[in-house]
Amino acid sequence: MDLKLAGKTALITGGSKGIGRATGEVLAGEGCNVILVAREQGMLDEAAAAIRARHQVNVRTIAADLSSDAAVRRVADEAGALDILVNNAGAIPPGDVLSVDDTRWRQAWDLKVFGYISFCRVIYAQMKARKAGVIINVIGAAGEKFPTNYIAGAAGNASLMAFTRALGKGAPADGLRVVAINPGPVETDRLVMLRRAEAQEKFGDPDRWRELTSNMPFGRAATPAEIGNAVAFLASPMSGYTTGTVLTIDGGG
């Protein structure tokens, strides 16, 4: 299917690995020029080189820590006009209300919660001036499942879900769309690392980590590309009547 995205420019935060990198690959495959943003320049360079090797599109990188409004504005200025913004950066630590201290909680929210909001505010204004654009927030299913041992993530994700719905509700009047995706478990490097450690502890063999995903829907976690494909579709004119909604991709779990 031609998603009619050729020639568009997309900025993806957290774009050096996992869902962000996979999203960059998918959008580049649809003919989008992509801008990858993450903290580590080396990993950005590796991701950009891999995408350039497969697709004839312009791939740019910007190294930045998006946990401050000043950094967000610097990246937005450097990026220039965007057709698509994919907010994906940030990982909130696990723990219950007594084990996540104020410093860790605030640092995590500065990057993911306030980082998403800051980027939306800057880019929404730019897109509104042109009466065109799509913002996609990759959030996380904890915002609707409320795990006690991931309380900072559950609360932060729920906040971003409400933010997306409120912003997306008014977006059509400005010619825009704002949507979100809530992935369940995704086979990223981080998930594999955690499962390998768990398998070492449980079985004495880290290579048996896939046994720990056998009780998931379809017997596995989602792939990053499956989330990236959904991002591309939601960003495209083929999903042009979709805004102010949150798509959960968790295998029905």
Supply the pLDDT for residue 201: 87
pLDDT digits (tens, 9 = 90+) for 117-172: 999 999 999 999 999 999 999 999 999 999 999 999 999 999 999 999 999 999 99
Domain-by-domain residue ranges, the chain?
9-186+223-248, 187-221
79 token code pair: 């990026």
Alpha carbon distance 140, 164 (integer Å): 13
Grade residue 226 by pLDDT with cuts at 50, 70 and 90.
very high
pLDDT digits (tens, 9 = 90+) for 51-74: 999 999 999 999 999 999 999 999
Predicted model pTM: 0.94
Range list of β-strands (E), 158-201? 177-183
CATH topology of domain 9-186+223-248: Rossmann fold (3.40.50)
Alpha carbon distance 184, 220 (integer Å): 11
Question: Which amino acid type is present at position 69?
Answer: D
Better-predicted residue by pLDDT, 1 or 167: 167
Q: Of 76, 47, 51, which is closest to residue 64 (Cα–Cα)?
A: 76
Better-predicted residue by pLDDT, 45 or 214: 45
Task: List, edge to edge, every strand of the sheet that includes 59-63.
Answer: 59-63, 33-38, 9-13, 84-87, 134-138, 177-183, 246-249
Q: Of 112, 113, 181, 182, which is closest to residue 141 (Cα–Cα)?
A: 182
Supply the pLDDT for residue 91: 86
pLDDT tops 90 at residue 190: no
pLDDT tops 90 at residue 195: no
CA 56 to chain centre: 23
252 token code pair: 């029905």
pLDDT tops 80 at residue 1: no
